[in-house]
Structure 1
């Protein structure tokens, strides 16, 4: 929930609503009674009654503000919306009722005619205003929740677009294209069947990116199919230098994750480490439970890191932060680098 000082409201709202309450209380009283009372009023008496109404208005809204702040900590709106509204309204009415009874126990001069009738009228007005105040703070919560969701959606779209652009930059990098073309050229003469498979996998990579460019979440099975095609290119290029072991994903294949997550993690591992056929980079992708995926690789760190290292990890972390309270867990020890990725049960709420 957003924090507010309510400074301007306290300065202008309390006196304005106090005047409004003063007029209401005057109109609630019988004309003869009000007229007879005012005959004995001094100028100071009108001022005192206005101060009373302004104080009453300040109490109504200030208790509402403080109750909102307190309950946001101990019983937030997200817990139970209806019960939160009922608790806040009940507490507000109880506080107003108690304060009014204490106030009316004081013996005022007879000309004010602060009797049981005025007490009941003031309590009724207090209950109505308590309902109004609680409704205002409820509406405020919904407004800022909607506004936050809108801002997060925009930020999420930007991050998703940036992730896709980063991934496309990897594919469209001149060195990457040159290497791929060189590999295809070499394969055409000696291994034409492999060259065809290489081109098919390369086209499927672009197709996947274009098909999922507007999605915040995709099924895990689609991401795994994509990453297999993506790894095929690296397998041809590096041979036994990169080994990837993907465990059985049958139980979690329908779960979802942000698109290109696996690619960014694998790119991160390749950028970080030195590897060869004798000392390969071993990447393990497995599923410890029905709610997460782990991508783990052995470590042989490069002395000089390539530009842009860890950008992918930051992007993944930011996207998860916007999608839910679950965020990736990174474990970086002496021998292994491990990232635990939360999985979601549905993609419908994230598009």
Structure 2
């Protein structure tokens, strides 16, 4: 027989982020170009100096020409990188993006480098450069150009992959926070409508019967909703805050049920500054109330206490309601999922047939 005290886990609906328009973010590669262009030029300059003599005029000419031509080639290849990223923007399209990127490097670099090798000898102002020997000089220049293009391409792809990976992590964290906030809002709504309605009915009766008690009731009701507002944006809160809140909450519950419900709270001082998710105690108390018979002749008692191992326990006798509870199971299952999504140790739920016990791990600051 299924224990009505123990709810099934509630799966959080999958949140699909809005589809992003395909766009290419600007590449932040200024420093890469400032350092990379001169580095790419130097092997060619050294080649010419080795071939035709170590002359300052030759160095100045080949270095200047190399800076201009390499910068132009770099911009062509950079444009190609941006285009490929538009076509294969997803992090999972790594293979397609890699093949297209480096295939384009081959197609662009080969004709550009061959043309540059020929042009340098034709525009020689020093008179030192002979027409390039075919195919030796052309092949040496081509291998150097392709090697450097591929090295820079690997750097670009690594930067892009790391950026996409970072975005994926941030998106996952964002979805996790949205899911947790959705669960927390559900818990707050669980407290808000029905609880408020019942509390206002109780307050209405007390106003005519006992104005002093009605004032106390109103103060505790304000404390409950003040706590909800204060803890709305927090993932965890102190056990001290939770205990203060549950005192107010149980005060209101007890005025509703009268002697049909009683409770004890025994929290050792060393654990008051430990942490747990907000509304943990309210969820466990509400779970006990929802699934158990509460009558003056069969009262329900709740025992909330800490253990020597730094755990919080909420215990109640099992007094199953004879009828199937149709309320949506949003309490204990949601709380279990919240602990899991926050990366906290799991709740321990036990049922020996007589007592239902939930053990909550407390987090040290």
TM-score (norm 2): 0.59
Of the candidates 312, 315, 320, which is equivalent to residue 331 of structure 2? 312
Aligned match for 2:219, one of 200, 210, 213: 200
Which residue does the alignment assign to 2:181?
A: 157
CA distance in 1, matches of 2:176, 2:334: 14
Instruction: Classify 1:204/1:12 alpha carbon distance in 2 versus 1 (closer, same or farther; 3 Å).
Output: closer
Residue aligned with 1:161, SS: helix
Give CA-to-partner distance per residue, 1:4-43, whole Å, 9 cap, x none: 7845x645652343122443356567955899xxxxxxxx
Name the SS for the 2:313 alignment partner. Answer: strand
Q: Is the 8 A contact 2:202 2:255 kept in 1?
A: no
Per-residue deviation at 1:183?
4.5
**From 13, 19, 23, the counterpart of 2:108:** 23
State the match for 2:194 in structure 1.
170
| Superimposed CA distance per residue, residues 123-178 of structure 1 (whole angstroms, 9 cap, x where no aligned partner) | 555444433333332222211111122222233333322221221113223x4532
Whether the 8 Å CA contact 2:114–2:138 is kept in 1: the answer is no
Structure 1 gaps, min length 5: 36-109, 347-351
Query: Is the 8 Å Cα contact of residues 272 and 305 (structure 1) preserved in structure 2?
Result: no
Distance 2:160 2:97 in 1: 17
Name the CA shift for 1:325/1:233 in 2 (closer, same or farther; >3 Å): closer
> SS in structure 1 opposite 2:218?
helix
The two structures have a TM-score, normalised by structure 1, of 0.61
CA distance in 2, matches of 1:178, 1:163: 22
1:209 to 2:228 alignment? yes
Does structure 1 residue 131 correspond to structure 2 residue 155?
yes
1:264/1:296 CA distance change after superposition, 3 Å: same
CA RMSD of aligned residues (A): 3.7
When residues 117 and 336 of structure 1 are mapped into structure 2, their CA distance, relative to the original with a 3 A threshold, is farther
Correspondence for 2:305: 286
| TM-fit CA distance, 1:118 | 6.5
Greater relative CO, 1 or 2 (CA 8 Å, sep 6+): 2
In structure 2, which of residues 191, 204, 207 is the aligned counterpart of residue 181 of structure 1? 204
Q: Which runs of 5+ in 2 are unaligned?
A: 1-89, 121-133
Give how far 1:314 is off: 3.0
